[in-house]
């Protein structure tokens, strides 16, 4: 596949019914050492790492373009201990364990946080470029999130995709994995049945399969089953995030854990076909309700923030920031924000009084709230201090529409990225990385851990398969 064709086009829809086949075909249609299902950051990192060992690798992608949810992510990469910061991998791990509520695997967390700096440098060796200084972003406490020079997650997909093609990786689009072949007595995974354009073909995976199929945020049925209280919310996942890998893994005997945990974040309405966020930098924005009152410490974890927004009268809340913050966003975010303003989804005002009028919130309450926040005085002990926010006109605001951003549940893996059964025994030939992994984040995911965990465990899977 040529590079231009690989990076083009729009995603396809629809999940396919699945089963796990016990009997392997007498003659395989295709054979590779490694088969990777999914072409986001996790899948491409796994493919490239396996190919670097001299293995033949094929990537099968359900959508009509590569990238998965990595392509649409904010792009930040968490790595503690770089740039001379005091923050170390052990601090990164400690924060994850605290947020995980005892539901993430401490050894997996350790492996992840210790591998983040090295994976960051590996990405740089592939041509990825990052800004020098780390940010503190939505849902984090420390400055450990590095922003790529290219907008959002596009840089990862370009770098990993091009390197994979140069390494001889086969990448095929529009392919849905509908069955897994395995040996019933040993559960050893042998290969996969792929469907494309109404035709099926069998693929032998001599060393194994890497599941990098993402989450299930686009699967309404699975959301109703596992997180019914949030199932009515819109999502910002790719249409292909329908839990295909989860169902294949479960039928192969995998242990699915933490399926009830779903991450929700602010976004825009479904009427616009792109993601808008004014809340990425917690020290540069403030959230208010319909009364013009601040109701939460914006530096809180994502679970706390989501619950606080849902609890507001009428479920109405707004994110407010200033022009300095918008101007410092990456170029794609700025483009979408200006488009959203012209569509009437985002408002811009010359001063706080005009902003209150455009948001239809009490003027004096909003002015009082913003003045206190900018001065670092909050007035309530439940709110944290704020600094250097909404200082420079014009001011920007959007009504918060909560989105399902990430599904945190999935397969249980070990430190080698091997998928485990319900007894904690590895399923021979089955590996996983990315959002399909359910025992890394626990109950709450730390902001900036999405892309970094995908690439870290993608590398680990490719190195161990």
Rounded (10°) CA dihedral 64, 68, 73, 79 = -140
d(CA 298, CA 390): 13
DSSP type of residue 222: H
d(CA 348, CA 143): 28
Can you say how many angstroms the Cα of residue 155 is from the centroid of all Cα atoms in its chain?
Answer: 15
Phi/psi-derived region of residue 251, left when phi > 0, alpha when psi is between -120 and 50, beta in every other case = alpha
Q: Sign of the CA dihedral 361, 381, 298, 266? A: negative
Q: How far is CA 301 from CA 85, 238, 320, in A?
A: 22, 24, 18
Cβ-contact 78, 87 below 8 angstroms: no
Rounded (10°) CA dihedral 422, 428, 434, 437 = 0
For tokens 């913050």, the residue is 325
| Length of the chain as a residue count | 465
Catalytic residue among 152, 302, 412, 459: 302
Q: Return the biggest CA–CA distance within the chain.
A: 76
Angle between helices 363-374 and 352-359 (to 10 degrees): 130
* Active site (annotated) includes residue 368: no
Give me 266's structure tokens.
Answer: 């602010």
Write out the catalytic residue numbers. 302
């Amino acid at each position: 596949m040529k590079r231009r064709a690989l990076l083009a086009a729009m995603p396809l829809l629809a999940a396919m019914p699945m089963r796990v086949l016990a009997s392997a075909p007498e003659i395989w249609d295709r054979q590779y050492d490694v088969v990777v299902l999914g072409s986001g950051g996790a899948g491409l990192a796994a493919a490239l790492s396996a190919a670097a060992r001299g293995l033949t690798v094929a990537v099968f992608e359900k959508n009509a373009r590569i990238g998965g949810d990595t392509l649409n992510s904010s792009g930040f990469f968490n790595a503690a201990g770089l740039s001379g910061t005091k923050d170390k991998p052990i601090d990164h791990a400690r924060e994850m364990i605290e947020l995980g509520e005892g539901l993430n695997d401490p050894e997996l967390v350790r492996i992840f946080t210790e591998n983040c700096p090295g994976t960051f440098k590996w990405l740089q060796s592939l041509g990825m470029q990052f800004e020098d200084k780390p940010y503190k972003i939505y849902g984090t406490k420390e400055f450990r999130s590095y922003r790529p020079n290219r907008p959002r997650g596009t840089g990862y997909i370009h770098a990993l995709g091009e390197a994979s093609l140069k390494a001889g990786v086969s990448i095929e689009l529009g392919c849905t994995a509908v069955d897994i072949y395995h040996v019933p007595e040993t559960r050893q995974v042998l290969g996969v049945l792929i469907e494309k354009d109404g035709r099926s073909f069998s693929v032998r995976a001599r060393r194994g399969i890497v599941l990098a199929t993402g989450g299930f945020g686009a699967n309404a049925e699975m959301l109703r089953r596992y997180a019914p209280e949030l199932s009515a919310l819109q999502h910002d996942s790719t249409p292909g995030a329908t839990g295909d890998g989860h169902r294949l893994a479960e039928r192969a005997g995998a242990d699915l854990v933490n399926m009830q945990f779903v991450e929700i974040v602010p976004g825009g309405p479904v009427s616009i076909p792109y993601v808008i966020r004014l809340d990425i930098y917690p020290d540069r924005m403030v959230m208010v309700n319909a009364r013009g009152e601040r109701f939460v410490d914006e530096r809180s974890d994502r679970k706390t923030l989501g619950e606080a927004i849902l609890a507001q009268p009428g479920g109405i809340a707004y994110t407010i920031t200033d022009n300095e913050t918008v101007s410092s966003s990456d170029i794609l975010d700025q483009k979408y924000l200006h488009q959203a303003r012209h569509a009437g989804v985002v408002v811009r005002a010359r001063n706080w009084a005009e902003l209150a009028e455009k948001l239809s919130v009490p003027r004096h309450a909003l002015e009082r709230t913003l003045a206190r926040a900018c001065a670092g005085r909050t007035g309530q002990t439940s709110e944290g201090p704020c600094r250097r926010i909404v200082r420079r006109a014009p001011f920007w605001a959007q009504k918060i529409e909560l989105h399902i951003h990430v599904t945190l549940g999935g397969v249980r893996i070990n430190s080698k990225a091997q998928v485990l059964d319900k007894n904690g025994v590895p399923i021979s030939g089955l590996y996983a990385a990315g959002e399909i992994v359910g025992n890394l984040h626990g109950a709450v995911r730390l902001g900036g851990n999405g892309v970094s965990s995908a690439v870290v465990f993608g590398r680990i899977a490719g190195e161990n398969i």
